[in-house]
Amino acid sequence: MFFWTVAALLTLAASLAVLAPLARRAPAVAAASDRDLDVYRDQLAEVDRDVSRALIGMDEAEQARAEIGRRILKLNASRRSTAGAAGWARAVGAAAVLAIPVLSWGLYGVLGSPDLPSQPLEARLSKQPAESSPDELIARAERALRANPGDGRGWDVLAPVYRRVGRANEAVFAYRNAIRLLGDSAPRWAGLGEALAEQSGGTVSADARAAFEKALSLDPQDAQARFFMNVAAAQEKRYDDAIAGWNGLAATLPAGSEWQQASQRAMALAMQRKAAEEGGGPATGPTTEDVAAADQMTDGERGEMIEAMVAALDERLRTQPDDPEGWKRLVRSYIVLGKTDAARDALARGSKALGDPAKADELVRFARSFGLDATE
């Protein structure tokens, strides 16, 4: 009941604060009309003085009085019209001000939960963890760390949580505290690098790269750091290096794991962007609009688009085989799609079609960099 009483008083105070100015007459308009009326009265008195001094005749005086009288009547009519309009405006404004709290309270009574008991922060933070929301769990951890800022384990647990909920600045702070208090570890440095990249809007900055390099110095097989080092290569438009790195990473990870799936999606997008920047229409890659749309596609839709692109490239190379870069792109595409037999066939056809032994050897070396041995 106390809450509703306070709410009602606050609503009344807010309504009165808005209604008070509406109830007052505009002083500037009133003062202007009063000054005009005083001027006309002075003019009438001046006419009477001119008549008494025989400066003007009676006919001229009557004409002057009539003209001044018309102006006074027009002024009074204007004042009545303005007052009426102002009155309507004040009435409409007052009705709107009163309607807002009435409608709000009515809608809350229907759609809200007025009978829901209060939930003080202290009570929410005291609930069992399984019954708490993510925000409540974070608030609980933050309260514990304020009381004990030297708890390295607490910072270590909270840092990835911050990162997952998109609080990059807090994640960077937490990771640095965890490293300072608990020491170096590849997961901590890799997590710090990802948080720094998110802090930079998704770009692998120099600080983020240094963090990933530190993680790899501690564990050369750390999947998170390897993934983002390839992101850095792709952002520098070293697409072949990035694709080769993601392909190697995906091959070493369990099927369906988080970083394997991320690597496969990243490879597909890198291939699209490389093809789009090389230009040449649908046979060589998607348009920039296709690349932008690919970021919003599901894995299935993205896979279908890539396979259609690869099929179009394969068909073009059958009729226009003198294209070393095109054969490289075709071999790499089949490898990324996991079609080893098709990649091997493309390698054989490309080596034969190019004719020039130097170009054929370069194609074989390129395929070997992706794990496709020339002897196969």
> What is the DSSP code string of 74-113?
HHHHHHHHHHHHHHHHHHHHHHHHHHHHHHHHHHHHHHS-
Whose tokens are 């702070």? That residue is 173
How far is the C-alpha of 224 from the C-alpha of 236, rounded, in Å?
19
**Alpha-helix runs per DSSP H in the chain:** 2-23, 27-52, 58-111, 121-125, 134-147, 152-164, 168-182, 186-199, 206-218, 223-235, 239-252, 258-278, 288-294, 299-319, 324-336, 340-354, 357-369
Q: What is the pLDDT of residue 209?
A: 95
> pTM of the full predicted structure?
0.49
Q: What angle do CA 373, 322, 369 make, to 5 degrees?
A: 20
Q: What angle do CA 305, 225, 193 make, to 5 degrees?
A: 105
Q: What is the pLDDT of residue 171?
A: 94
Burial (Cβ within 10 Å: 0-12, 13-18, ≥19) of residue 244 = buried
pLDDT-derived band of residue 291, with 50, 70 and 90 as boundaries?
very low
pLDDT-derived band of residue 287, with 50, 70 and 90 as boundaries?
very low
Tell me how far CA of residue 118 lies from CA of 56, 104, 218, 319, in angstroms: 86, 20, 50, 75
Q: What is the pLDDT of residue 173?
A: 94
Q: Which of 149-153, 179-183, 268-272, 321-325 bottoms out in mean pLDDT, i.e. has the lowest? A: 268-272
Q: What is the pLDDT of residue 213?
A: 96
Q: What is the pLDDT of residues 186-243, one digit of tens each?
A: 999 999 999 999 998 888 999 999 999 999 999 999 999 999 999 999 888 888 888 8
pLDDT at 166 over 90: no
Higher pLDDT, 296 or 79: 79
Cβ 226 vs Cβ 216: under 8 Å: yes
Among left, alpha and beta (phi > 0; psi -120 to 50; other), residue 287 is: beta
Q: What is the pLDDT of residue 82?
A: 65
Query: Percent of the chain, pLDDT > 70?
Result: 68
How far is the C-alpha of 257 from the C-alpha of 41, rounded, in Å?
94
Indicate the angle between helix axes 258-278 and 324-336, nearest 10 degrees. Answer: 160
User: What is the identity of the amino acid at 196?
Assistant: L
- Overall CATH class of domain 239-376: mainly alpha
Q: What is the mean pLDDT of the chain?
A: 76
Q: Which of 24-28, 228-232, 350-354 bottoms out in mean pLDDT, i.e. has the lowest? A: 24-28
**Domain 129-236 listed as CATH 1.25.40.10:** yes
Q: What is the pLDDT of residues 238-281, one digit of tens each?
A: 888 888 888 888 888 888 888 988 888 888 888 777 777 765 44
Cβ 249 vs Cβ 226: under 8 Å: yes
Q: To the nearest 10°, report the CA torsion of 310, 315, 319, 320.
A: -10
Cβ 235 vs Cβ 274: under 8 Å: no
Q: What is the pLDDT of residue 317?
A: 84
Winning range, highest mean pLDDT, from 226-230, 236-240, 347-351, 354-358 = 226-230
SS3 129: helix
The mean pLDDT of 342-365, rounded to a whole number, is: 86
Q: What is the pLDDT of residue 277?
A: 72
pLDDT at 8 over 50: yes
Q: What is the pLDDT of residue 288?
A: 34
Q: What is the pLDDT of residue 132?
A: 53
* Six token digits for residue 302: 């993205």
pLDDT-derived band of residue 290, with 50, 70 and 90 as boundaries?
very low
Cβ 284 vs Cβ 326: under 8 Å: yes
Winning range, highest mean pLDDT, from 34-43, 116-125, 230-239, 312-321 = 230-239
Q: What is the pLDDT of residue 280?
A: 43
Q: What is the pLDDT of residue 129?
A: 46
Task: Identify the CA nearest to 277 among candidates 267, 268, 287, 269.
Answer: 287
SS3 73: helix
Q: What is the pLDDT of residue 97?
A: 61
Look up residue 118 and give its DSSP letter: P
Q: What is the pLDDT of residue 174?
A: 94
* Six token digits for residue 356: 């020039």
The mean pLDDT of 79-86, rounded to a whole number, is: 62
Cβ 196 vs Cβ 211: under 8 Å: yes
Q: Which of 106-110, 121-125, 194-198 bottoms out in mean pLDDT, i.e. has the lowest? A: 121-125
